[in-house]
Chains A and B, each alone.
Chain A
Amino acid sequence: MTHFLRLRHRQPTTHRVTAPHLAELYARAAATFGELPAFATRRAANEWSPLSFRELYAQGQALATALIDLGLERQAHIGLLADNRVEWIIADCATQLAGAANVPRGSDVTDEEIVTIFGHAGVTVAFVESEALEQRLMALRERLPHLQQLILMHPKAQPQQPLTRHLYQLIEDGEALRAAGDRRVEERVAALRPDDLFTLIYTSGTTGAPKGVMLTHANMISQIENIPIKINCADRVLSILPIWHVYERVFEMFAISQGCCTYYSSVQTLQEDLRNVEPTFMGSAPRLWESLHQRILKSIRQRHPMRRALFRIAYFLSHHYKESVFFLTGRRADLYRQPRAWVALAGVVHVLRWLLLLPWYGFFNAAVLEQVRLAVGGNLKGSVSGGGALPDEIDRFFNYLGIPVLEGYGLTETSPVLAVRTYEQLMIGTVGPMIRGTELRIVCLESGAVLYPDPQRRDGGRGLKGEVVVRGPQVMKGYYRNPEATAQALRNGWFHTGDIGVVSHGDCLQIVGRCKETIVLANGENLEPAPIELNLTQSPLIEQCVVVGQDRRYPAALIVPSLEGFRDAGWAVGSVAELAADAQARRSVEAEIKTRIAPVNGFRAHERIQRVRLLEQRFATGEELTQLLKVKRHVVAQKYAHEIESLYQ
């Protein structure tokens, strides 16, 4: 009944490539897409230099030859310390063609991390982005006994040390060797197996010491084949998230397999690049959507009243029109099956509303919403958001606006995509259905019993909360040299994610929290901090927050007040620290929290935040936040131990 209006987007098909391993993927992409641009580097706002698929492969081959000539072993671990840049992908191509695996990390890596990771992985050769990184590594020389060779990546950087060579210099060497008939690369590629590692990624997760996630060629190839997103050589992908994280990397590999060009952007130039490159697709994090949301609302506030009113009407119509479309196409995130009669009745109402709104929506969508979409970046067909939960309000805003945000779910250990919404199953509030080839179980947190799928239970176990456990071709081989952690995460081939999820009636997965995040109060009551924090950060007065209260009498919150929010509310304040010292500001925040964490919003009595502490500084990436801007609770707990203590005195 609810599926009778399923619309199919029939896209013209174009050729795409796949291969048994990534070395072959680079080769086939070069053979298929030839001179089409594969990557583009920004020189100025409207001046970019392209690197074609053929050039990428040729340079990768030359560099691989030079690496082999330097004595790089098969399946060796190459360090790769750099941010997104085209030399990163050349280095990766060379690594795969040499049959090795890389250990990537961003340029903001700390000295301690370098020592731990390189030591643990046994890195002998490392690519470094800049002279600054080269200097840092040289200073750590004593603590890195295995390191033999550094390779500088930035085209303008000059090697400062006898140990260092330049990437482009090595490419020249490799070209000369190949011209002289060196075919060692072909031998390496022929020896490569799908089960070999292509990368070793050390996670600085939300808890504990970094672990080396072993990902195989087969893991990545399965992602390329199973991610249900349609792009082709007419698309442009903007790269903004850190490439050393597998989430961004999978999109770049996916782009290569589809023949589309990836444009390297940065946080500083993003607004300009959105306008000039007019990307059709991008991997993104919730933070990006939050800031775009703010930008759009701001630009609408600044318009004159007539156009603002037109936008309000357009948004209102789109909201109600799309709600009906979502209902009629079965895109509701109901946890339980609804009674037939009720669905039929609602269906009739929705058909009427849909018909009534269609012409009005059509006009306002064309005349008003299209303008707003153009302001965001023109041709964006959609975007996958991952690396954290997207606030419901923002999720809805963009979907009603006509920019489908496909929220996805995964972990580094699962290379990373496990589930993602598609255009056909765009269920807001969920992370969509599992991708092809991936099996899902929801397991009871206490007993370990399988709750879903279980035909014995009501609706097959849908609607029951438990740990998300998965099995599929993208699941890692294990943690490198860490059998205890591997045995804990991988049991009988099933990977335990540590996330709490629930399957909706429409077979979409909803993530509701982290197992280890659960706060148990002194009185034994459990509460999930994530939904509370998600709600609080939607307040204009609150920028960031962390809910605490493990083994305490009541939950409390550390709050970073939003300077902008307070200024918009008419406060004349100069800094966050100033706000933190202001008792009046604290009372405003407290009042805000009281209205938000209330029974009307679905919160229970024991979840009410009893006390609040305003912090003097924003959380910093790499410090309290991970690269994907998730809060590292253990860091917060340590750093703000004193403040947390004060909340319970």
Chain B
Amino acid sequence: MEIEQQLINPMQQGLLALMILIIMFGMGAALTPQDFRHALQRPRGMLIGFLSQFGLMPLIAFGLAHLLQLSPAKAIALILIGCLPGGSTSNMFAYFARGSLALSISMTAASTMLALIMMPLLLDLYASGFAEQLDAQLREAGSDTHFVIPYGNIVASLLLVIVPVIGGMVLRRYSPGWAKTAEDTAGFMAIIVILFLLVSALLLRTEYFLATPWEIYVAAVCIGLVGFLFGYGTATAFRLPPRFKRAISLETGIQNGPIALAIIMLSFAEPIQSEMLWVAILYSAFIVITSSFVTLYYRRIGQLDWDLHHNTRIHQRLFGANYQTRYPRRVIGDVDTR
């Protein structure tokens, strides 16, 4: 794939940056300090979630990059996606998949903060090999600069995207009404951004679609799907309740795409920037589709256990905290109602 042109021009880059800002602001508007406290108070589900999110996801990305023999730049982009914290869209999907919304939100909140430490560590672990390959390629091609993964820049860009998140949280503190608006707008904006990038790429850079090898499409689709599968598996292995399984599964597979775009734009230069952006854009587009289907599936299989669990919770609210709801086995079968 030899395309010298930039994928998106500076004007589009500016627009994109603005949109990311709004999206991250909206994500913050959905969070309260309470969410962080919840995360610390009941850490079991979260820890298992982290194991899956920061332990498995980068490994899956690394494995896919090797299996599909991606070019070094694309492999680094894929691993970068694998190391990302969870996005705010995962909360919406978790809600509709009858997963634990509280767990999803607290995982998103905590992983965004934790990413400051985890991302450099994980990138060093998995991506440094590809970085050396890339460095060698560049020098073969006659470049006199060394390529190293810009850890400092990555942390700086992460900090930069966290600023609007905090801004959103402040807004939530002072004006819940406006915060709700910001949240809805941001969710809408996230879809617009992906569509805008895809359509502009399709119209202006049709060759990108044609020149993209099938492996990239496979990688972009599979990283999410395998993430869902392994996330569910991890939670099952630790015998978590069904609604935690669904939340962790979605949280694992759905990464914060806008952060990937921000990091790539701020930390990587051409000639590899466009190549990396393209992987991130494809991932962001496919993850919406795959997680919609997975959510519909979870919603269906989770109906009874969710209803029973929710019913129990309402019984406790109305009849007193000590009220025990005992569903007879012969009535509900072997459904896990925890």
B-binding residues in A (CB < 8 A): 10-12, 14-15, 32-37, 40, 46-50, 232-236, 259, 276-278, 280, 303-304, 306-307, 310, 359, 362-363, 366-368, 370-371, 379
**Can you name 18 extra interface pairs (CB under 8 A) apart from A10-B300, A40-B318?**
A15-B331, A32-B328, A32-B330, A37-B319, A232-B304, A234-B308, A234-B311, A235-B311, A259-B331, A276-B318, A304-B181, A306-B185, A307-B180, A307-B184, A359-B191, A366-B95, A368-B184, A379-B310
A234:B310 contact, CB within 8 angstroms: yes
Q: Does B325 contact A (CB under 8 A)?
A: yes
B73 to chain A, nearest CB (A): 30
Q: Does B196 contact A (CB under 8 A)?
A: no
Q: Which of A276, A359, A368 contacts B317 (CB 8 A)?
A: A276
Q: Does B307 contact A (CB under 8 A)?
A: yes
B328:A34 contact, CB within 8 angstroms: yes
A236:B188 contact, CB within 8 angstroms: no
List, in ascending order, chain B residues with CB within 8 A of A310's CB: 184-185, 188
Given the known interface contacts A50-B315, A233-B332, the answer about A363 and B187 at a Cβ–Cβ threshold of 8 Å is yes
List, in ascending order, chain A residues with CB within 8 A of B177's CB: 303-304
The closest CB in chain A to the CB of B302 belongs to A12
A367 to B96, CA, bound (A): 10
List, in ascending order, chain B residues with CB within 8 A of A277's CB: 314, 318
CB-CB contacts below 8 Å: B80-102 with A: 92, 95-96
CB-CB contacts below 8 Å: B288-338 with A: 292, 300, 303-304, 307-308, 310-311, 314-315, 317-320, 323, 325-328, 330-333, 335
A32 to B329, CA, bound (A): 10
A14:B319 contact, CB within 8 angstroms: no
List, in ascending order, chain B residues with CB within 8 A of A33's CB: 328, 331
B292:A14 contact, CB within 8 angstroms: no
B303 to chain A, nearest CB (A): 6
Q: Which of A15, A304, A307, A363 contacts B191 (CB 8 A)?
A: A363
B314:A234 contact, CB within 8 angstroms: no
B311:A367 contact, CB within 8 angstroms: no
Q: Tell me the count of chain B residues lying within 8 A, CB to CB, of chain A.
A: 36
List, in ascending order, chain B residues with CB within 8 A of A15's CB: 330-332
List, in ascending order, chain A residues with CB within 8 A of B332's CB: 14-15, 232-234
A342 to B95, CA, bound (A): 41
Given the known interface contacts A234-B310, A307-B180, the answer about A47 and B187 at a Cβ–Cβ threshold of 8 Å is no
The closest CB in chain B to the CB of A42 belongs to B318
The closest CB in chain A to the CB of B187 belongs to A367
A273 to chain B, nearest CB (A): 10
Secondary structure type dominating chain B contacts:
helix
A304 to B191, CA, bound (A): 23
B331:A48 contact, CB within 8 angstroms: no
List, in ascending order, chain B residues with CB within 8 A of A370's CB: 95-96
Closest 9 CB pairs of A and B: A234-B307, A12-B304, A48-B318, A15-B331, A234-B308, A234-B311, A367-B187, A306-B181, A35-B326
List, in ascending order, chain A residues with CB within 8 A of B335's CB: 12
A278:B92 contact, CB within 8 angstroms: no
25 A-B residue pairings within 8 Å (CB atoms): A12-B303, A12-B335, A14-B333, A15-B330, A32-B330, A32-B331, A37-B319, A37-B325, A47-B318, A50-B323, A233-B311, A233-B331, A234-B304, A236-B314, A276-B318, A278-B310, A278-B314, A304-B181, A306-B181, A306-B185, A359-B191, A363-B188, A366-B95, A367-B184, A379-B310
List, in ascending order, chain A residues with CB within 8 A of B180's CB: 307, 371
Q: Which of B292, B315, B317, B330 contacts A37 (CB 8 A)?
A: B315
A278 to B307, CA, bound (A): 11
List, in ascending order, chain A residues with CB within 8 A of B331's CB: 14-15, 32-33, 233, 259
A584 to chain B, nearest CB (A): 38
List, in ascending order, chain B residues with CB within 8 A of A232's CB: 304, 307, 332
A307 to B335, CA, bound (A): 40
A192 to B284, CA, bound (A): 67
A11 to B187, CA, bound (A): 31
B326:A36 contact, CB within 8 angstroms: yes
A634 to chain B, nearest CB (A): 44
Q: Which of A47, A50, A236, A362 contacts B311 (CB 8 A)?
A: A236
A36:B327 contact, CB within 8 angstroms: yes
A82 to B137, CA, bound (A): 87
The closest CB in chain B to the CB of A35 belongs to B326
List, in ascending order, chain A residues with CB within 8 A of B308's CB: 233-234
A359 to B190, CA, bound (A): 13
A248 to B70, CA, bound (A): 65
B188 to chain A, nearest CB (A): 7
A40 to B325, CA, bound (A): 14
A356 to chain B, nearest CB (A): 13
Q: Which of A11, A304, A362 contacts B303 (CB 8 A)?
A: A11
B318:A366 contact, CB within 8 angstroms: no
The closest CB in chain A to the CB of B331 belongs to A15
Given the known interface contacts A34-B328, A40-B319, A234-B310, the answer about A366 and B304 at a Cβ–Cβ threshold of 8 Å is no
List, in ascending order, chain B residues with CB within 8 A of A278's CB: 310, 314
The closest CB in chain B to the CB of A278 belongs to B314
B319:A49 contact, CB within 8 angstroms: yes
A50:B319 contact, CB within 8 angstroms: yes
B254 to chain A, nearest CB (A): 14
List, in ascending order, chain A residues with CB within 8 A of B327's CB: 36, 233
A236 to B95, CA, bound (A): 20
A77 to chain B, nearest CB (A): 35
Interface centre among B96, B184, B185, B315, by most chain A C-beta atoms within 10 angstroms, is: B184
List, in ascending order, chain A residues with CB within 8 A of B315's CB: 37, 50
A600 to chain B, nearest CB (A): 37
A327 to B132, CA, bound (A): 59
The closest CB in chain B to the CB of A34 belongs to B328
List, in ascending order, chain A residues with CB within 8 A of B310's CB: 234, 278, 379
A193 to chain B, nearest CB (A): 29
List, in ascending order, chain B residues with CB within 8 A of A36's CB: 325-328
A332 to B69, CA, bound (A): 53
A12 to B242, CA, bound (A): 15
A10 to B331, CA, bound (A): 17
List, in ascending order, chain A residues with CB within 8 A of B92's CB: 366-367
B96:A14 contact, CB within 8 angstroms: no
A244 to chain B, nearest CB (A): 26
List, in ascending order, chain A residues with CB within 8 A of B304's CB: 11-12, 14, 232, 234
List, in ascending order, chain B residues with CB within 8 A of A379's CB: 310
A371 to B96, CA, bound (A): 12
A234 to B317, CA, bound (A): 15
B11 to chain A, nearest CB (A): 26
B285 to chain A, nearest CB (A): 11
List, in ascending order, chain A residues with CB within 8 A of B311's CB: 233-236
A373 to chain B, nearest CB (A): 12
List, in ascending order, chain B residues with CB within 8 A of A233's CB: 308, 311, 327, 331-332
The closest CB in chain A to the CB of B92 belongs to A366
A235 to B303, CA, bound (A): 11
List, in ascending order, chain A residues with CB within 8 A of B323's CB: 50
List, in ascending order, chain A residues with CB within 8 A of B314's CB: 236, 277-278
A371 to B187, CA, bound (A): 14
B318:A46 contact, CB within 8 angstroms: yes
B63 to chain A, nearest CB (A): 31
A609 to chain B, nearest CB (A): 44
The closest CB in chain B to the CB of A363 belongs to B191
A36 to B304, CA, bound (A): 16
A46 to B327, CA, bound (A): 22
List, in ascending order, chain A residues with CB within 8 A of B303's CB: 11-12
A298 to chain B, nearest CB (A): 16
A155 to chain B, nearest CB (A): 18
The closest CB in chain A to the CB of B337 belongs to A234
A48 to B314, CA, bound (A): 11
List, in ascending order, chain B residues with CB within 8 A of A234's CB: 304, 307-308, 310-311, 332
The closest CB in chain A to the CB of B330 belongs to A15
List, in ascending order, chain A residues with CB within 8 A of B178's CB: 304
B191 to chain A, nearest CB (A): 6
Interface centre among B178, B326, B328, B331, by most chain A C-beta atoms within 10 angstroms, is: B331
A48:B319 contact, CB within 8 angstroms: yes
